[in-house]
Amino acid sequence: MSEARERRVALSTGIALHVVEAGPEDGPVCLLLHGFPESSFGWRTLIGPLAAAGLRVVAPDQRGYARSDKPRGIGAYRLDRMVDDAAALLDAVGARSARVLAHDWGGAVAWYLAAARPQRVERLAILNMPHPAAMRRRLARDREQLRRSWYVFFFQLPFLPERYLRRHGGRKLRGVFRASSRPGTFSDAELDRYVEDAARPRALTSMLHWYRAAFRRRAPRPPSWRVRVPTRIVWGVQDTAIVPELAAESAALCDDAEVVRLPDAGHWLHHEEPERVASLVLEHLLA
């Protein structure tokens, strides 16, 4: 990230996002969409390789996170609002379409964007996030996935999740990363950065509103959930939050998709095996 550029970008959706950019300004745009509880900082291991390969990397702090705007109210965090942000960000950087790489909640945004606005997505790479329709079906019938998703229901409570994650100087938030990753994946300094970002005014509540909106302010369904753009799903099999069957079930909702499984990686695969993930992602995005 030594050559990264940072700026705030005002969007037509009425908010401004903090954006990290790297790579040649005339290169193909590669939009990176992070998940919970990260930010653009979560892409630190991949921005360099993507930019070096000639891609113009555009990595925002999504709405509610870190240095981006944090509109009030649960309704501001409906999934379609973030899809609007992604499309507006492409407009703001002068791109009709982009190659999209996404993880966790960013993956939900990317799936919806590719299904609802396929003209904006050239190629799609997803890291450990199931297609929203596949996830909904699995939650309706699978006790194991319901058990793994316990925290989603906890996050629906008012105030208590914020207090819990802030306790003891953010120790519980650090635990979110440590409990779901290989030992040593995250340094103390890296976790300090996430805790500092979550401590910004309204940040943690805004981040949790993504989960609350999914239950209480569900986004309208796109005309079709089918994803027709070329898609690669890179899946850390040791993910403790998502059953591994969802990788194949997500691919089944695509016209052109493949699943690459990393048997020893988990939810934080791009931090646990950054070189392998970078190679897999570039192979697909540059095809």
What residues are labeled active site?
Answer: 104, 211, 267
Reduced to 3 states, what is the DSSP secondary structure of residue 278?
helix
Q: How far apart are CA 165 and CA 244, in angstroms?
A: 27
Three-state helix/strand/coil letters over 236-247: ECCCCCCCCHHH
Residues 6+ apart with CB under 8 A from 183: none
The answer to whether residues 49 and 206 touch, using CB atoms and an 8 Å cutoff, is no
Q: How far apart are the first and last CA of the chain?
A: 24
For the record, the structure tokens of 8 come out as 């705030």
**How far is it between the farthest Cα atoms of the chain?**
48
The answer to whether residues 88 and 14 touch, using CB atoms and an 8 Å cutoff, is no
Q: At 139, which helix (H) or strand (E)?
A: helix 132-141
For the record, the structure tokens of 69 come out as 């705007």
